[in-house]
Amino acid sequence: MPSRPQSEKFPAGLPCGDSLFSEGGMAALRAAAEERLSEPMGVWKKRVLARNLIGVLGPAIESMLQAAGLPVHLRSVSAVRITRGVREYGSCNIPRANDSECRLAFSGHLFFTGNADALLDVVAHELLHACLPSREGHGTLFHQGMTILNDTLGLHIEVHTEKSAIRQSETLYRYKVVCAACGNTFYYLRAGAVVKHPSRYRCAKCGKNAFEIYRITDVEKGKNGR
């Protein structure tokens, strides 16, 4: 994939550079990201947002780690991919033949309203990999870097992002469980106990035993698609 022109590195409208370290800088970045997530996004828009966040956070992360004395250097990001994965929210691939670049990938499911915090954390996690030696993995340096970034930038980077931390669109789920009494609604990826035996469960909200199960068909997924 061709690399993007430099001009995209510091996109207008997103706080960047030193302003990120000022009070409210990261909050402003979060708010700007959340605003973009609140609109329906196709793969192209998701990739633009990912690239913008990389352009803003990358240099900040690199200088923060260097200031703390870690021997790091941010590789150039040669490609950004949006995946359909649900098990892995992000990845950083460093080609064996060229240690000066990396390819980042992010799950498309991150790009959904309410996920700005999680998206920033996952982007920062992969950028941390992009700064560290290729064989580091989630080793000592990774943990040190993670602590530094969480403390200084107010992030919540984790080694493994909890699935529950990510809000996902309905399009991902296969079952919808609705309490007929109060409207309380849940979504499930798989036909677990509640989906199979709804009569055994009571609604946590209203206490009634009135769950209705809907299978989210591909047709509905298309209709509700965001």
User: At a CB cut-off of 8 Å and minimum separation 6, what does 95 contact?
Assistant: 101, 102, 103
Question: At residue 27, what is the residue type?
Answer: A
Nearer to Zn ion, 171 or 184 (CB): 184
Nearer to Zn ion, 36 or 109 (CB): 109
Total count of residues recorded for the chain: 226
Nearer to Zn ion, 27 or 182 (CB): 182
Residue 207 beta carbon to Zn ion: minimum distance, rounded to whole angstroms: 7
Look-up of token digits 């200031």 = 67
Residue 128 beta carbon to Zn ion: minimum distance, rounded to whole angstroms: 8
Q: Does 206 bind Zn ion (CB under 5 A)?
A: yes
Residue 214 beta carbon to Zn ion: minimum distance, rounded to whole angstroms: 15
Residue 85 beta carbon to Zn ion: minimum distance, rounded to whole angstroms: 14
Q: How many residues contact Zn ion, by CB under 5 A?
A: 7
Query: Helices 25-37 and 43-67 meet at what angle, rounded to 10?
Result: 170
Question: At residue 13, what is the residue type?
Answer: G
Distance CA 179, CA 104 (A): 41
Distance CA 145, CA 71 (A): 10
Residues 146-205 that bind Zn ion (CB under 5 A): 179, 181-182, 184, 203, 205
User: At a CB cut-off of 8 Å and minimum separation 6, what does 41 contact?
Assistant: 49, 111, 226
Nearer to Zn ion, 11 or 198 (CB): 198
Residue 163 beta carbon to Zn ion: minimum distance, rounded to whole angstroms: 15
Nearer to Zn ion, 33 or 179 (CB): 179
CA 52 to chain centre: 14
Q: Site residues (CB under 5 A) for Zn ion?
A: 179, 181-182, 184, 203, 205-206
